Structure 1
Amino acid sequence: MRKRRAALLHGTDGGPNELRWQGWLARQFQESGYDVYFPQLPDSHTPNLKTYDQFLKNSGWDFSDSVLIGHSSGATTTLHLLQQDWFPHVRAVVLVGTFLNERLLSAASWYGQGQFDDLFVEEFDVINIKSKADAFYFVHGDNDPYCDYDEAKVLCAKLGGLFITMPGGGHIAKTANIAQLPGLVKRLKADEILN
């Protein structure tokens, strides 16, 4: 029997130890027998899809038939990876606080003009993305200040995914102080992705 695998991709200025829910979710996968890959993505203040693509391609990690989890710009990276010829089919994709464009960022104190120029370099090919995964799960705060809730719902519907709303969850980042994603884990268990 092949070892089950999951990979977590953090967001802008993030890292493997940044958000409490990420460590908690990684433990849920480990306790279900998964090997978990949670790399520090290079230069994450200015996410660059080409840099991330090469970094992950050369990581030595086997992404085939895995569960791929991305938060914020890590969700954008996940969608990008699924469009690449080299990237294999995966079992499931979890997108948390899905970052689809910069439209809501103008008021963010941390946002710099041009910061995401190398993140949004291509349109999302929904047909191609959908063909690369068996299941899609979206987790989104209904008051996310950076990533549009309704746009995430539309993409989820196009991908035939399951949308989980976190009331008052914001961007599901440090300021929201979210330690767990029990609604997601409950669904992953119901769908036999987790034990």
Structure 2
Amino acid sequence: MKKAVFLHGTDGNPNDNWWSWLRKLLEENGYEIFAPTLPENHTPNKEVYDKFLKKSGWDFSDNLIIGHSSGATTALNLLTSDWFPKVKATVLLGVFLNENLLESVSWHDPGQFNNLFKPEYDISVLKDKSNKYIFVHGDNDPYCDYEDAKKLARDLEADFITIYNGHHLWSTSGIKELPELAEALNSNDLL
């Protein structure tokens, strides 16, 4: 059986946004889904998440890993962890790489993301740990820098899907489905 993991973002849960649509699409294509609610997710912490997911009992080998926002960051963090196995593919939506755009947003708490980011990602390790990368990013994401996402995608030789006027691909953007992602999954033999 094919397996997929959903990693939601800050203050989120595995039922937000387009997750329900994507879950249905994957299940219709034979996937078993692991979609945990990440602990203490207002202040994402790579060590807390790492321990939580390691103890989950889920076999991550050869999975499709899907992360949104800080969940995408969590996917990158996991892929660089020694214990985490190689996966089939990684989908990063609205990938959160730094706090550069957060200075003026009302919901951001100082220190909220101090324990999320690695200083730098080892591109060769990331390439070794996932057979394929697909990025999906709003061209006008107010929180996660579009150009930073494009640079990482180039470094990883990834597919990059731009959702025009997609914002952060969050509930406020009104996006309930991502047919562009379905097409990319299909064209990469992931459905």
What interval of TM-score do these two structures reach, taking the shorter chain for normalisation?
Answer: over 0.9
Match of 1:4 among 2, 5, 8: 2
> Normalising to structure 1: TM-score of the pair?
0.96
Q: Specify the alignment match of 2:100 in structure 1.
A: 103
Distance (Å, rounded) in 1 between the aligned partners of 2:119 and 2:22: 30
1:77-128 deviations in Å (ceiling 9; x for gaps): 0000000110000000000000000000011110000000010243211110
Distance (Å, rounded) in 2 between the aligned partners of 1:5 and 1:104: 34
Unaligned 5+ segments in structure 2 are none
Indicate conservation of the 8 Å contact 2:68/2:92, yes or no: yes
SS at the partner of 1:46? coil
SS at the partner of 2:49? helix
Match of 1:51 among 48, 51, 54: 48
Q: Specify the alignment match of 2:138 in structure 1.
A: 141
Q: Specify the alignment match of 1:15 in structure 2.
A: 13
2:153 aligned with 1:170, yes or no? no
1:125-160 deviations in Å (ceiling 9; x for gaps): 111011101100000000000001011000001001
Alignment length (residue pairs): 191
SS at the partner of 2:20? helix
Indicate conservation of the 8 Å contact 2:77/2:118, yes or no: no
Q: Specify the alignment match of 2:155 in structure 1.
A: 158
Identical pairs, percent: 52
Deviation at 1:63, TM superposition (A): 0.6
2:62 aligned with 1:65, yes or no? yes
2:121 aligned with 1:124, yes or no? yes
Unaligned 5+ segments in structure 1 are none
Deviation at 1:192, TM superposition (A): 1.1
Distance (Å, rounded) in 1 between the aligned partners of 2:177 and 2:12: 17
Match of 1:94 among 91, 95, 104: 91
Deviation at 1:48, TM superposition (A): 0.5
Counterpart code for 2:29: S
Distance (Å, rounded) in 2 between the aligned partners of 1:105 and 1:119: 14
Q: What CA RMSD, in Å, does the superposition of the two structures yield over aligned residues?
A: 0.7
Distance (Å, rounded) in 1 between the aligned partners of 2:7 and 2:85: 16
Distance (Å, rounded) in 1 between the aligned partners of 2:118 and 2:129: 20
Indicate conservation of the 8 Å contact 2:140/2:167, yes or no: yes
Distance (Å, rounded) in 2 between the aligned partners of 1:120 and 1:69: 18
